[in-house]
Structures are given as C-alpha cells and as structure tokens.
Structure 1
Amino acid sequence: MTRTEGQGERALTAVKDTLDDIKSRPHRQQVIIGVGSGLLAGYIFAKIGRVAALLLGGSLIALQCAVQQDVIRINWRKVERAGHQIQSNTPAIFEDKIIKTIEENRVFFGSFGGGFLIAISFA
C-alpha cells in the first residue's frame, strides 16, 4: 500500500466514524449538526465559488479566442474517448456505497443540504 492509499483509507475511516457518531445521536442533534455544517460549507463554497467561476469563465473565453485564432486545435474525438474510458472504469460498488451512506444518514444529509442552500443564497 502506498502512502497516498494509506492516507485515503484513514480519511475514509475518519469520515465513516464521524457519520456513525452523528447517526447515533438524537434526531434534533443530527439536524442541528447538519444545518450548522451546511451553513458553514455553503458560505465557504459560495465565496470560493465566485472566484473559481471567474477564473473558469475567463479561461474558457481565452480558450475560445485561442481556438478561433488557430493557436490551439482540440481533437474532440480524443476528448470523447477519454470521457467514455473514465466512465467505464467507475465501479458500481462505489456508487452503491455512496447511496447506502446517504440513506443511512438521511437526517444529517437532508439538514446539511438545507443549510448549504440557505448559506449560498445569503453569501
């Protein structure tokens, strides 16, 4: 196991332990924890998202200008093939684990989503 894989396993274990701890609490506490963390994450996401959107939008405009001036040529068939290859390599087990985790922690994730959206609307 490489160092990166070990760190990834530790991170996943920490997230799972945290979610298990939250799941064992009463529903009101789950909602409070979910809303609080959702508000914080949504606020940070909205602030960083604006800068990221500006950089991404500017990069796309610059890329379009470069393509129009024949400075850059994009082989879209290669891009499509790479996308299909990535899609086919995604294991279904990974998707099942995500759905199972969300189902088991629906109170937390529901309140997190609500807090996240409220924070984005106010940021």
Structure 2
Amino acid sequence: MALRSPEASARICQLAQPKKTHVLLTEKSLSAAPLLKPSVRTHFLATPKQEHPQYSPDRPVSCPVVRSALEAVASERLQVLATPRLRKPLFDGFDPYRVSSAALAAIASPRLQELSLPPARRCRTK
C-alpha cells in the first residue's frame, strides 16, 4: 500500500533539496564565483608548459622540395637494393596429395604406436 500513495516520504523530500553552500555573499555580488580564488598550486598547474628550445614544428603540407633532391641520382647499389626479390609462386607445380619417399619408408616406433592407441578407459568391449 505504501507504493500506491502519491506522497513522498520525508527522506525523499530531504534528498530533493539542493545542498546549501556556506559561502558568504556580499551585498554587491549575487553569485559566489567572484569570491572564490584558486590556490597557488592550482594556478601553477593551469599554466601551460613552455616548448623545448630545440623543438621544430611540423612542416606545412605544401613545402618546397630541395633542388638537390630533385637532381639526385641513385647509385647502382641503391638501384639493386631497391629492386624486389623474385620469388617462385607458392603453388607453382605444387601437388598437395603427393607423398614424399621419406614418408613412405617411415616406420613408427613402438612408443609412437603405443601413444596412438586410445586409452584403456575409453575402449568398451561388447
């Protein structure tokens, strides 16, 4: 029945009230903001950091290209290093079903044959 009553309890009314601040307001000012001043530490933390003396800002996107870079010619060694390696295609002449001769001649050791058997607890006799 308490859920159906439209009246709020005293505790709900108390929680609905805004918190009261203990800042004294002067007659000239109606807000508390001008009375509050940041601490020295807060003011120190709010100051921005200075840039490092050796910091160079990013170059603009449309920066001119140096003349020496336009006239540069790569040496033979650089051209050799710049060419990609020629590789044989992965599946060129590859037969996935061909069994190597070493695999055909392989014989499993007794331990490997023992490990390949299922455990005795899984073997049911009918």
Using the size of structure 2 for normalisation, the TM-score is 0.17
Per residue, is there more helix in 1 or in 2? 1
Larger Cα Rg: Structure 1 or Structure 2? 2
**Using CA pairs below 8 Å that are at least 6 residues apart, which structure has the higher relative contact order?**
1
